[in-house]
Structure formats: structure tokens, C-alpha cells
Structure 1
Amino acid sequence: MSIEARLAELGVTLPDAPAPAANYVPYVIAGKLVHVSGQISADANGQIKGKLGAGMSVEDGAAAAKACAISLLAQLKKACDGDLTRLKRVVKLVGFVNSTPDFTDQPKVINGASDFMVAALGDAGRHARSAVSAASLPFGVAVEIEAIFELN
């Protein structure tokens, strides 16, 4: 099954790749690797803001991480000139969670992105990963995730 068909089965349509919010490029292709800049938690309704451990649930944080993953795939699609069949695998995700000092469930939050990548990409979605706390994130968003993808 193609990636686009799997996404459709999951009820996901990739949005246009978000424009950079500052002085950087959204992705860099180096050999067979695509390094995608951090994507902030945002959906069709706007930015998903909040702080884990201060009124935002782990489930809401995981949904924010999934939104980041969707943006990561949108950037990848743009980098591949619209051809997601070029994807070999997700190599690594690095997730940042806007959280209080005593919040320790960052891995559960970033699972929202990891679980989505596996659901959308199958074994090609399995990846190495980091999930870390941040005292704050740009625009007050809940989650930011960057990724490295390998192309065929």
C-alpha cells in the first residue's frame, strides 16, 4: 500500500509544507538523507499551545506531537518533489516538549509522533529518537519535532 493510501486510510491529508518562521530552510538534503527542521505543533485550527504538567494532558501533548509528524511528512513530500515513494525510512526524530520541571512523561508525548509514523509508514516508520523537556518553545507551542529521513 502506498504512503498516500495509508494516510488516506488514517483520515490524514498532508497540508502544504509550512513556511519557515525565521532565518532557516525547512529541509536540507545531504546525500540520501533529508534533514527536516523542527516542526511546531499546529493543525488546521492553528498552533497547538500549552505546557505539559501545567494544565495540558499527556493525551493532548501526544496529539500535538502527531500534528508535528504530519508537518514533517509534508516537508518531506516537498523535499521529494511530491513523490513519497522515494522514502526508504525514518532515521531519527528529536522531540522537544514544552513542560514544567517536574513533568517526566516526555516519551509518552512524543509517542504521538512515533506511533503515527509507524501507522503511516509501517516498518519504514520505525526510528531512533530523543524526547526532551524544554522550558519554553517558539510561540508557546506544546511540541516541536525535527526529523532525519533516508531516501531510496
Structure 2
Amino acid sequence: MSDNKTPEQRMQELGYTITGELQLPPGFEVLLSMIKVIDKRVIVSGHGALNPDGTIATHLMGQVGDTISLEQAQEAAKLTALAMVGTLKRELGELSSIKSWVKVLGMVNTAPGFTGQTPVIDGFSRTIIEIFGKECGMACRSAVGMAALPMNLSVEVEAELELH
């Protein structure tokens, strides 16, 4: 980053905290790795909006354009970014080991006729760029609508990153 601050320092300045580890509802199991590191490549599984303690942000669940507003979905995307950063911090140790956010796929639980997927996922991208800076945080990206997402999440995002 051009200001020589670490992502952790930037988060502190922004008032963001590292989100706790995902706390799944009772009886819910996922058979996946949240992160897979292959040499300098990092593949990140889909993340959704979490509260700071790692519980699912149930107040932001639902279909965007129906039960969830654009603004609520943007907040869900922001919390999704913070959840993903928390996972990266736990798995990689130092966030400054990330050289680049390469690719982001943002999925939005979309009501029929809703076409604002791009502004929704901008909530994710804006947060990542705030934390990592534009040079590192600006990724190639897709924002797509889905008929449904797991657990009725309003937003799910997966990513690919490069390490130094």
C-alpha cells in the first residue's frame, strides 16, 4: 500500500475488527476447506455475512429486491468482505502476505426482476480496497444473481488471491 500501513493497521483506523470464525447453526455441516493455498495462489471458498463473533448475520438474510433492500445487501457484502478477511488472517497469519486480489465472484440472492447485483457486490469490493489499497485490492470481478443461496444468505462471495 502506498501509505506503508499494513492491512491490519488500516482496519484498525477504519474501525473494523477481525471477524470471528464461522459459527454454523446446530446440525449444519459443510464439507469444504475455507481456504486452499497452492504455492502463491489462494483459493477462498464462498463466504457470507457474519456478525463480529462469527455468527451468521441473520438480519441480512433473504432475497434482495424482496425482503432485503439494496442498502441492506451492500451491508451484507461489506460484512462478507470482513468475514473473508478474518478467515485469511487466521489461515495466513499476516494480511500483508497478500500481493493481489485476483478474481472475485459475487453471488446475490435475487428476486425476479432485480438487476442491481453490481452495486451490491461493490459493498464487498469497496471494503477490500479500503483495507488493502487499490493496487492490491482491485480484482477482476463478476456479480451475478442467483435464485437462492445456502441458508437464505443474501450475498455469497468467493475469491482467488496471489501471495508475495
* Class of the TM-score when normalised by the shorter of the 2 chains: over 0.9
Task: Report if the CA contact (8 A) 2:107-2:155 is conserved.
Answer: yes
Q: Which residue matches 1:112? A: 123
Q: Is 1:11 matched with 2:11?
A: no
TM-superposed deviation, 1:28:
0.4
Q: Which residue matches 1:84? A: 95
Give runs of aligned pairs for residues 116-135 of structure 1, distance below 5 A. 116-122=127-133, 123-135=135-147
| CA offsets 1:69-106 (integer angstroms, 9 cap, x no match) | 111111111221x2112111111111110011210000
Question: Residues of 1 paired with 2:23 and 2:39: CA distance?
Answer: 23
Q: Structure 1 stretches of 5 or more lacking a match?
A: none
Alignment-mate amino acid for residue 103 of structure 1:
F
Q: Is 1:30 matched with 2:16?
A: no
Question: Residues of 2 paired with 1:76 and 1:138: CA distance?
Answer: 21
Q: Which residue matches 2:56? A: 46
Q: Is 1:67 matched with 2:75?
A: no
TM-superposed deviation, 1:128:
0.5
TM-score normalised by L of structure 1:
0.93
Alignment-mate amino acid for residue 90 of structure 2:
K
Q: Is 1:57 matched with 2:69?
A: yes
Q: Structure 2 stretches of 5 or more lacking a match?
A: none
TM-superposed deviation, 1:19:
6.1
Q: Is 1:103 matched with 2:103?
A: no
Q: What is the percent sequence identity of the aligned residues?
A: 34
Alignment-mate amino acid for residue 46 of structure 1:
I
Secondary structure in 2 aligned to 1:16?
A: coil
TM-score normalised by L of structure 2:
0.86
Question: Residues of 1 paired with 2:22 and 2:101: CA distance?
Answer: 19
How many residue pairs match? The answer is 151
The list of structure 1 runs, each at least 4 consecutive aligned residues, that deviate by more than 4 angstroms after superposition, is: none
RMSD: 1.5
